[in-house]
Structures are given as structure tokens and as C-alpha cells.
A and B are shown apart, each in its own frame.
Chain A
């Protein structure tokens, strides 16, 4: 997918002015954190599980070559075809070859962040192959030609009216004036439409939550069951997995599953957890005849060798996003690429470059909640600071930002002054973006104005982010 991370400042500005989005985000904040808390409280051993899960991933990552070789050997022994791909382009080409070989015209897709990363949908469409997203949220945003705004709740930014509008304009076989107010009715309609797509699809593409080296199995977790229909009904199945998904054993996968859903949605376990090992076997009455697994690097080995290695522990649960005050204020699209929230602010610059996404690490108050809730104990605030340093040293930030930074650092240690300066700085939002486009120079340089104004996202009415945040009762608990 194309990135708009470079215009993060403008994106954030627009998001704060988007009344519909703000309404949806209000709902969002109430949901996930409360559910996660309840699930964790029901599991006294949660911290011990977190420790164990972290150890598993650290060990797997420290032996990544060995586990990937073992996974490949076991998967191939079970009839899976394993394809190693260095980058997004290699993966897209491989997917295309498999589609062509199997004559696929319609492809059912299970929600896959790695699929978003490599822009597989746009690519297949351009090649005349029709990808159909089957996760309800992902389907809705596909109809709206939007990227996901959250890694586990892709349509969280939308109201049900917006969903109804999308269905009305795309589901042409249904009467124009049908009632479509209730979520149940919309779900029933989507289920019926997508059921036909499942049955028509010649090929299914999913991501993977984990790969099990011991058995060569792919682990896929969903609540809807769309992932399972995607990997059961079509004749050919493709799994796209980034390298760091591999874990040693079934027991290790199990431990991680115990923290995954609790952290993500506050469920003990998602409804469907599926371990798939190769294609249909003799005597089987269903299942795909061909299974392909793409092992995709796409920037992972680079992170393996630098100070962001620990980010490879990430299991994409979304807890850091759900607890991030910045995400809650601006939503996911402002980040401008596939990921969002604290994990996005770390991943995006690593995957598409600090030049493109240098502003994202600034989208944080460094309040530390993300690290507190991360089941993998990834030191996200430390990484965000490192990325800021990197950006600063790389001197690819606009001159005004560099200048303002020392002012900000000075103020940040003096909260009262900081708040005052920020009130003064309101109105500076968007200035950096404009400057950058015009290649202009600062005429007026209220110290820290551009920087803190941008960083803290003042409201149009002239309120600072801190003011808004405390007015909304959003203080840290």
C-alpha cells in the first residue's frame, strides 16, 4: 500500500476535525481496555504467561534460521510448498504465479496485515484477479477503498450508517429501500453475499498468527470463521507469513495463544484457532489440494540485526494501540500506512524508512501504557525515543523541527511552562507540513511552536492535547 506517513501532521490535523471519526473513537476507547482488564483479572497467572511467551519468542528469534529450516522441512514433508521471499515484490510475483497456475479469477482473502504490507489486493486487481476480503471489517473497508485503521478492528473508525451506505451502493441485488439500520441485518446481508464469494473463489489467501516448527503447521486465529472458510473451501491456499512468526512447538504456540486474545479483545481465546498442516490427504472429503506458504523477509532480517530486534516479538494483538492516547485522539489512518499506534510508530519507520515516516515516533506522549499492556513486553517507548534520535541525527527533519526540539526538551522538564508554551503554540499545527511542501522557511519562530504544537495535536478551538485529554477524563489510571 502507498504510504501517506510523510504527511502525518496534516493527517492528524484532519483526523481531529473529523466529527464522525471522533465519534467512533469515543466508542472505541470504552471498549477494548475494559475488556482486556477483565480478561487479565480472570487469569491470575497472566504475568507468568507473559514471561513465558516472551522467552519463547526471544528464543525463537535467536534461532530463527534453525526454526525456519525445521518448519520448512516439516511443512514440505506434509505436502506444503514453501516459498522464501526477500521482499514485497518477490512475494507479489510469487502469489501471482500461483494464481496464474491455478487459473484463479476470484481470491477469497482472510484479514492479513502482511497482505496489507505488500499491497496484495491492489496488485492482484491490476493483474485482473479479484480479491475479496472476507473478514467483515476488512470487507467493509474494501468496499470503501480504504486501508484498515486498526490491526484487529479494521473498520473501527466507521459508524453503522457509513457501513449501511457502503452496502447500499455495492450490494446491487438487494432492494434499494431495504431497512439497514440494525447491525444484525447488515451482518446477515454481508454473510449471504460473502458466502457466495467463498463458494466461487478458486484460491484463498490468509496470513498466519504463528508457524509451528515442530510440525510444519500454520496457526490462524479468527472470531468470524472467515479464515477457516478461506482455507477450507478454495482448491488452492496461500499463506503469507513474515519470518518472525515461527515458534518452536505446539506447547509454545499454546502459551502465546493464552495471552493473545486476552490482550487483543479480552476474550480467553478467539472463537476459532486452527492448526493447518498441508493439503487434503487421502480419504479427506474437503480441504484444499494445494497449500503454499510464503516466508517473507520484507525488512525483518534488518530489524534482527539492529536495536529494534525486540519488535520482532510482536504478535499483533493491538493492545498497545488500544491503550494509546494519541491513537484514541486521531485514529489509525493518520499514521499513513498499514500499522498504527505505538507498534505502528516503531514498525513503519523500520519497514518503509525514517525519511518517509520520521514524524511517527513523535506521535507519542511516552506515557508508557503501551509497554505496560504489551504481552510481549516490548519496550515501545524506548524504541520511539531511539527513532526520534535517529531521525534527529539523520537531519532529515525539517529545520524548524530541529530548532524547536531543544526548546521542547527544555519545556518538557518543566510542566507548567510546557503547558503555557503549548497554549501559545496552538495554531501552529500543519505549519510544518506546509513548510515542507513549499520548501519555505520559518518567518515567525515562536520557540517550540511548530514542534510542540504538532506533537501534541491542539484542537481547533485552541485547546491543547493535554487540556482535551484531561477534559475527556482521559488521565492515566
Chain B
């Protein structure tokens, strides 16, 4: 195994045939890695505040996500019940064990059956938080962790995501900056999911169909007011 590594690295070095001394190249690489720089951030990724919110909603709906906006977490149970009812779904939801969602007063909707944990095959509806929303393309960013099992994002037919409005940023680069501020440079959660609309395929005669393997529907509930996490400003 280490033989193959040396063979390949040797072939690369021979093929590259560097002119500059090895340590110069290494220093340039190290500099680039320690100081990651944004390259080109397009205009549409530079929106902030209300503009970013509007852009996020526009882009998310353009890729077939649905959105609604509520004043606070207290309104979530009623909205979720209404959403399930409109979609003709049983009132059963698997919720991420996310401390940011702990304040949702589920008991206001006694008919909703709430369980927390990862998703199983028979879970039809999941509800998760979101680390960020990227206005540029209406993309949700979710980080894996004990409070945010990845299966919730992919197994159920319906994914309802809570996104605090103050977590909407202009560009993807903004989310990397927030992530580094939270976790430290070079430290990644096990999974970072960018989710841009519900699952789809065009593999049969190029007909666009929603709901290939991941969720058939993605519903984003935008919540005003400050989120509880420290990393968001």
C-alpha cells in the first residue's frame, strides 16, 4: 500500500518536473491552505438582510421547494399540522433531536405524533433544523451530528426544514466562514449537506420527475426572531 503511494507520488513528481525548489512550491500550497480565499462571488451571492431573504425564497421556490414564514417557533406545530393535512398525510413526524428545536411547543397540537431520532424506512415526514440558507440558489445547509442525523434529510418522502431567518446568508462562502468560526479552521462535521429543492431525476426520456430517492417534497418554514445558536450573528 505505501509502495503504491510512493510509486504514484514519484510518477507525479517526474511528470511535473518542477522548476522551482520543492520548498517554494510547498510554501505556496501551505499558504493557500491556511488562508482559503474566496474566488469569484457573483452579484447574486452578495445580497444581505431582506434582499437575501427574498432571494432565498425566490430561488428555493424556483427549484420546487415550498416555503412559508412564521413569527416564532410557537407557530410551528400548527403550521406542520396544516401542511400534513393539506398533503393528506398522517399526523406523524420524526423530529431531529436538535436543541434549537426543543422550544417548539408540540403539545399545542395534541393530534400530532412526534418522535425524535434518526429516520427509519417507514418515516414519511421528517422535521429538521438548518445550519444556514444560501440566498444565491435557495440552498439549505445542514450539518450532521448527534442532533442532526443525516438520514432525516434523505429517507422520508417529506422533509420539513426549519430555517431561522437570521441564518440566511448571501453565498456559500459565507457558510464556510460561519462554519470555521464555529468549529475551527479545517475542521469539518462528518457531513455537510447542501440541499437545493426536493430530489429529482430526468433519466426517463428526459422528463423531469420529483422524488427519485430522496424526499419528494421539501418544505421550508422560515422563522423570524433570533435563533438560539451562538455561531449565528
Contact partner of A48 among B1, B40, B59, CB < 8 A?
B40
Task: Please judge, given known A-B contacts A136-B201, A228-B153, A271-B196, whether A213 and B33 are in contact too, CB under 8 Å.
Answer: yes
What's the Cα separation between A232 and B151 when bound, in Å? Answer: 7
CB of B186 within 8 A of chain A?
Answer: yes
Q: Which of A31, A84, A309 has the most chain B CB atoms inside 10 A of its CB? A: A84
> Nearest CB to that of A227 among chain B residues?
B213
Instruction: Tell which of B26, B59, B192 has the most Cβ of chain A within 10 Å.
Output: B192
B153 / chain A contacts, CB cutoff of 8 Å:
228
Say yes or no: A252 contacts B39, CB within 8 Å: yes
B190 pairs with A233, CB closer than 8 A = no
A66 interfacial contact with B, CB 8 Å: yes
Confirm or deny: A134 has a beta carbon within 8 angstroms of a beta carbon on chain B: yes
Decide: B191 and A274 in contact? CB cutoff 8 A: yes
Give the shortest distance, in Å, between A180 (CB) and chain B (any CB).
Answer: 11
Evaluate contact between B213 and A63: CB separation under 8 angstroms. no
Q: Is the CB of A269 within 8 A of B194?
A: yes
The interface residues of chain A lying within 8 Å CB-to-CB of B196 are 267-273
Residue in chain B with minimal CB distance to A78: B188
Chain A hits for B195, CB < 8 A: 271-272
User: B106-114, B123-131, B202-210: which lies at the A interface?
Assistant: B202-210
Given contacts A191-B213, A268-B196, are A229 and B154 in contact (CB under 8 A)?
yes
Q: Which residue of A lies closest to B7 (CB)?
A: A86
Q: Which of A74, A250, A269 contacts B36 (CB 8 A)?
A: A250
Q: Say whether B26 contacts A269, CB under 8 Å.
A: no
Q: Is B121 an interface residue when CB atoms closer than 8 A count as contact?
A: yes
A276 on the B face (CB < 8 A)? yes
A44: B residues at CB distance < 8 A: 42-43
Expressed in whole angstroms, the minimum distance between the Cβ of A397 and any Cβ of chain B is 28
Residues of A within 8 A of B150 (CB): 228, 232, 286-287
Chain B contact residues (Cβ within 8 angstroms of A): what range? 35 or more
* Contacting pair A271 B15 (CB below 8 A): no
CB neighbours (8 Å) of A49 from chain B are: 39-40, 42
**B contact residues around A163 at 8 Å (CB):** 204
Beyond A43-B42, A195-B121, whether A271 also contacts B146 by CB under 8 A is no
Q: A153-B206, A250-B176 are in contact. Are A281 and B190 (CB under 8 A)?
A: yes
Report chain B residues within 8 Å CB of A301: 8, 11-12, 15
What is the minimal beta-carbon distance from B141 to any residue of chain A, in angstroms? Answer: 10
> Which residues of chain B come closer than 8 Å to A214, judged between CB atoms?
33, 36, 186
* A285 in the interface (beta carbon within 8 A): yes
A344: interface (CB < 8 Å): no
Say whether B190 contacts A65, CB under 8 Å: no
0/1 per residue, B188-228, Cβ < 8 Å to A? 11111111111111111111010111110000000000000
Q: Is B29 an interface residue (CB 8 A)?
A: yes
Bound form: Cα–Cα A277–B137 in Å? 24
CB distance from A286 to the nearest CB of B (A): 5
A399 to B5, CA, bound (A): 43
- The complex places the Cα of A121 from the Cα of B230 at a distance, in Å, of 47
Given the complex of chains A and B, what is the CA–CA distance between A295 and B5 in angstroms?
9
Does B63 sit within 8 A of A, measured CB to CB?
A: yes
Q: Are A135 and B203 in contact (CB under 8 A)?
A: yes
B-to-A contact residues, CB < 8 Å: 1, 4-5, 7-9, 11-17, 25-26, 28-29, 32-33, 36-40, 42-44, 59, 63, 117-119, 121, 136-137, 139, 144-146, 149-151, 153-155, 172-173, 176, 186-207, 209, 211-215
Given contact pairs A226-B213, A287-B190, a sample of 16 additional A-B residue pairs in the complex whose CB atoms are under 8 Å apart: A28-B206, A52-B40, A62-B16, A154-B203, A159-B205, A187-B212, A214-B36, A223-B201, A248-B29, A268-B59, A269-B196, A279-B190, A286-B119, A287-B144, A301-B12, A304-B15
Residue pairs across A and B with Cβ atoms less than 8 A apart, 16 shown, are: A24-B205, A43-B42, A55-B39, A67-B29, A214-B33, A215-B187, A223-B200, A225-B154, A229-B213, A250-B176, A272-B199, A276-B191, A284-B190, A301-B8, A304-B11, A309-B15
